[in-house]
Chain A
Amino acid sequence: RKEVEQDPGPFNVPEGATVAFNCTYSNSASQSFFWYRQDCRKEPKLLMSVYSSGNEDGRFTAQLNRASQYISLLIRDSKLSDSATYLCVVNRQGAGGTSYGKLTFGQGTILTVHP
C-alpha cells in the first residue's frame, strides 16, 4: 500500500464548479498534512496546511479525519487558473528523528477547469 494515495483523476470541471479531492495516508502516526499545487513542469507550491479542526482559505477548504486517515480538499467557484495538479503531502514518521522534516507526496490529482 502506498504511503499517500490520491485519485489521479483527471477532473474536468466547468468554471464555477465545486470540486473535491480525497487522499488517504497509511501511517497513523503522521502529524502534519498539506496540500500543494504543481503546475505543469514547475515546482510544487504550498497551497495550505491541513489542521485537525479543518481550515479554510478563501475558496479552498481542507479537512482531516484522523480516525479514517483521510484528507480532503474542496475548491469552490473554480477558476481557470485553478487548473493544476494537486498533491496531498504528509510528514514522514520514523524512529529517532531520522525522518525529521521529510515529506511524502501523493501522486497528485489533475484538475482541468474549462470555460
Chain B
Amino acid sequence: DQQVKQNSPSLSVQEGRISILNCDYTNSMFDYFLWYKKYPAEGPTFLISISSIKDKNEDGRFTVFLNKSAKHLSLHIVPSQPGDSAVYFCAASDSGTYKYIFGTGTRLKVLA
C-alpha cells in the first residue's frame, strides 16, 4: 500500500528546458512534504520542502507546488542542467511525527 506514489520511474529532459517531477499521496493527514535528490553511491540529500499551509515554495531553480485538494505535488526545475541528473524522491509526513513516507523515486536525466 503505497501512500506516496511517483508514477514516472524516469524522465529525460533537454538541458535548459523545464523538468517537472510529479508525486501523489493518499493520506490526508500528511501536512509536510519534501523532495530529496540522490546521486549514485551517495545518500539522499534534502532539496526543498513545503508545508500544507502553502501552495508554492521556491528556492533558486527549484519550485515545489502543492495541490491539497488533488493530493498532488510537483517539483519544477528551471532551467535544467546536466548536474541535475539524479534520482528524485518525494516524501510526506504528518508533522506530528518524525516519520517520512517516501515514494519510489524518479530518475531524471538531463541531456546536454
Asked if A and B are interacting partners, one says no
